[in-house]
Amino acid sequence: MGTLYNDKTPFTRVFLFTGLALMAVGLIFGLIGGLQYLVPSFLKAQLSFDKIRPLHVSSMVFWIIMAAMGCVLTYIEEHTGRKLYSARLAKVQFGFFLFAILSIFSSYVMRIFGGREYWEFPPMLAIPIILGWILFLINFLLSIRTLKNQPVYVWMWLTGVFFFLFTFLESYLWLIPYFRNNVVNDMTIQWKSYGSIVGSWNMLIYGSSIFFMDKISGDKKYSRSPIAFAIYFLGLFNLMFNWGHHIYTLPTHSFIKHISYAVSMTELLLLGRIIYLWKSSLSTTQKHYHQPGYRFMAAADVWIFLNLILAITMSVPAINIYTHGTHITVAHAMGTTIGINSMILLAMIYDIMANSGRKIIPFKQSLKFGYWLANISLFVFWVALIIVGILKARWQMSVDQEPFGSMMSQLRPFFMIFLGSGTTLAIGFLTVISILLTQKPLSQST
């Protein structure tokens, strides 16, 4: 593993650099949006909230997608011991994505919308994303060549690549009048696709993280074990069927809700396993604690535990009627995208940088500062969102509901904590990102 690929910044690293830049930009958009919660007139003429929210969300979504693609493309080479089937295809794929991202950002700034939540851009701009993804699928399949005797992470990558394409296309079924003519039908299919699309990129990220852990431990047994495949299939089962927990209050088919409630509860098995393996995970953490990349993985482990508890709780319909439509949903989204996805991706980016002839960054001084500041701030941020969510839930369920504006005014102190912790969170991550982006190749740093 890793012997062939010590070349200086092969092209797939460009996905990672672009991803990091998008994360930096997304954090800044997030701060502006947070400030607008408290000072609505802030940049209202230039970057009003209807622009800032999609700019923030798209930056973060594309950070995750670009970095996940970069990790998969890099690790395929390490796994197979061969170059990618086609570096040119990867370059064209990158070109499609870069074109899409720049066009999408420009459309938001010019207030040209037309899509729906999370993909607010005009539907035409989905075309380069689809084309880029098809190239990714082709390159992946031709680089892997066979599924025979493959470890679990290859299956996870395959799942992620295939299901992203399927669910992304599904999210555009609304373009057909049959699907969009009724709001309930439209939202049912919309959230079916959204629920699974997140599971798809999680497959890319978690698959890469298993590859990374194999590499750190030097033990390839786990990724070929029956338990690894059992957990993968449990994840796949949830990706396919648990999306209905987003729409418990929608007057849609009741069987969708029953299926997703039952399927979501199978995640208790994952939670049970984490608790059961807690002690051995702690000793693994101690063993690899000197490795900076592993620190980010250890942080992700804690965030997985916290967010899994939150996710399972929210998936119980009787609890979901309180949490739905409140900031508890946001806390879950932030916990998973920042706490889990971003921490894992940063760990792998660190590993890939170190393997591509760059100076190895020690886990001290500014990196340590950024890491701890980001994690502590994220915890405060997460808790503040949950508290805001509980207060909004109380308002939603109250018999004599006061006006929405009054309720929001009462939440102001928590929005201040949310903004404060969001600011330190951004500082922490920007510190880590700037270290990763400015790390010079070994030949230049000596």
Site for other proteins in 8-67 (CB under 8 A): 36-37, 40-41, 44, 48-51, 53-54
The reply on whether position 413 binds other proteins by CB under 8 A is no
The reply on whether position 295 binds other proteins by CB under 8 A is no
Query: Cα–Cα distance between 422 and 34 in angstroms, integer?
Result: 8
- Residue whose token pair is 């900076």: 292
The reply on whether position 147 binds other proteins by CB under 8 A is yes
**Eight-class DSSP state of 441:** B
Residues 266 and 238: beta-carbon distance below 8 Å: yes
The reply on whether position 144 binds other proteins by CB under 8 A is no
- The least distance separating other proteins from the CB of residue 25, rounded to whole angstroms, comes to 18
The reply on whether position 240 binds other proteins by CB under 8 A is yes
- Measured from the CB atom, the residue of 130 and 442 that comes closer to other proteins is 130
Site for other proteins in 335-394 (CB under 8 A): none
- The least distance separating other proteins from the CB of residue 442, rounded to whole angstroms, comes to 41
Site for other proteins in 251-270 (CB under 8 A): 251-253, 256-258, 261
In the set 32, 330, 360, 390, which binds other proteins (CB under 8 A)? 330
Query: Cα–Cα distance between 107 and 115 in angstroms, integer?
Result: 11
The reply on whether position 136 binds other proteins by CB under 8 A is no
- The least distance separating other proteins from the CB of residue 135, rounded to whole angstroms, comes to 22
Strand partners for 358: 441
- Measured from the CB atom, the residue of 251 and 272 that comes closer to other proteins is 251
In the set 102, 109, 124, 183, which binds other proteins (CB under 8 A)? 183
- Measured from the CB atom, the residue of 11 and 179 that comes closer to other proteins is 179
* Sequence-distant (≥ 6) Cβ neighbours of residue 222 within 8 angstroms: 210, 213, 214, 228
- The least distance separating other proteins from the CB of residue 144, rounded to whole angstroms, comes to 14
In the set 13, 79, 295, 324, which binds other proteins (CB under 8 A)? 324
Query: Cα–Cα distance between 303 and 75 in angstroms, integer?
Result: 24
Site for other proteins in 91-130 (CB under 8 A): 111, 113-117, 120
Q: Is 358 helix (H, G, I), strand (E, B) or coil?
A: strand
Query: Cα–Cα distance between 223 and 399 in angstroms, integer?
Result: 53
In the set 179, 222, 363, 369, which binds other proteins (CB under 8 A)? 179
Computed on alpha carbons and rounded to an integer, the radius of gyration of the chain in Å comes to 22
Query: Which amino acid is present at 280?
Result: S
* Sequence-distant (≥ 6) Cβ neighbours of residue 157 within 8 angstroms: 72, 76, 140, 203, 204, 207, 208
> Per 3-state DSSP, what percentage of the chain is helix, strand, and coil (rounded to 5)?
80, 0, 20
- Residue whose token pair is 């669910």: 167
- The least distance separating other proteins from the CB of residue 113, rounded to whole angstroms, comes to 4
In the set 2, 95, 325, 420, which binds other proteins (CB under 8 A)? 325
The reply on whether position 237 binds other proteins by CB under 8 A is yes
| Site map 215..234 versus other proteins, x via CB under 8 A | -----------x--x---x-
**Eight-class DSSP state of 11:** T
Query: Cα–Cα distance between 396 and 310 in angstroms, integer?
Result: 20
The reply on whether position 445 binds other proteins by CB under 8 A is no
